[in-house]
Amino acid sequence: MTAPAVAAQRSAPDPAWWADPYALALRHGKGPLFLRRADGWLLPLEVERWCAGTDAADRSVLSRCRGTVLDIGCGPGRLIAALAERGRGALGIDVAPAAVAQAVRRGGSALCRSVFETLPREGHWGTALLMDGNIGIGGNPSALLERVAGLLTPGGRLLVEAAPVEVDERCEVRLDDGRGTLGTPFPWARAGRRALLHHAGATGWRTARSWTVTGRHFAELVRVAPLHVAAPTGAPVCLGGAQ
């Protein structure tokens, strides 16, 4: 695969993740950094882990990658760098230029692009990754799962991480550095194992397996429902067969 190893600026980056405090935390390789809900509840973000190398849980996911890999919300790129080292074609996408720049510096191929924008090789990726809480991107797990289905080749896999607790939540959050600097509000979601598998089933995915490593929960999903669009006559057209 010849993915562009550049931090392309073809679209306006999302200010929620673009501006400080995320860029600052990535620059220093550490938090504190939180997602703050409107009611003041704080979710600590694991910036140190994201900026480090892969761990056993990450490697349990990487070993299940097949074909070319799209890491959605790649952050500073530990996974795409590890995949590149293994010789596997991989592209990271992220809306934060600071994250994309680091991912490229670490030896990965990465693009500054939202998952909801047009992406290279749509419908041809062998594996998609949604790690580190990224099922929350866009604040609507079902919409994200539908979007990812359209990115994969027939028979492609989604490797997705669930929240460590049983939760099914859609909310508005801001990035918070714990010292008074707040980012702009954006929609986010959290889905624990049960909720994730429920959303997956409801959007036409089959769970091939699920597993836990060092307290982190993962699932391997395979698309089973065909994608339909309205034909000019109004009759449905099948774009991808059941797998």
Ligand X SMILES: C[S@@+](CC[C@H](N)C(=O)[O-])C[C@H]1O[C@@H](n2cnc3c(N)ncnc32)[C@H](O)[C@@H]1O
User: Using CB under 6 A as the criterion, which residues of the chain lie in contact with ligand X when the complex forms?
Assistant: 14, 17, 50, 72-76, 78-79, 93-96, 99, 114-116, 131-134, 137-138
Nearer to ligand X, 126 or 138 (CB): 138
- Name the minimum Å distance from CB 201 to ligand X: 23
- Name the minimum Å distance from CB 119 to ligand X: 10
- Name the minimum Å distance from CB 159 to ligand X: 12
Give, as one character, the DSSP assignment of residue 138: G
- Name the minimum Å distance from CB 51 to ligand X: 7
- Name the minimum Å distance from CB 188 to ligand X: 9
Strand spans (E) along the chain:
34-37, 42-44, 69-72, 90-94, 110-112, 125-130, 152-162, 168-176, 186-191, 205-213, 216-223, 228-230, 236-238
Nearer to ligand X, 109 or 134 (CB): 134
Nearer to ligand X, 75 or 141 (CB): 75
Chain position whose Cβ is nearest to ligand X: 75
Nearer to ligand X, 109 or 114 (CB): 114
Residue 197 φ then ψ, to 5° = -70, -30
Instruction: Look up residue 79 and give its two tokens.
Output: 């996974």
Determine the distance from the C-alpha atom of residue 103 to the mean position of all C-alpha atoms in its chain, rounded to a whole number: 14
Nearer to ligand X, 16 or 195 (CB): 16
Q: What angle do the packed helices 141-149 and 193-202 form, to 10 degrees?
A: 50
CB environment 45-61: b (16+ within 10 A), e (fewer)? bebeebbeebeebbebb
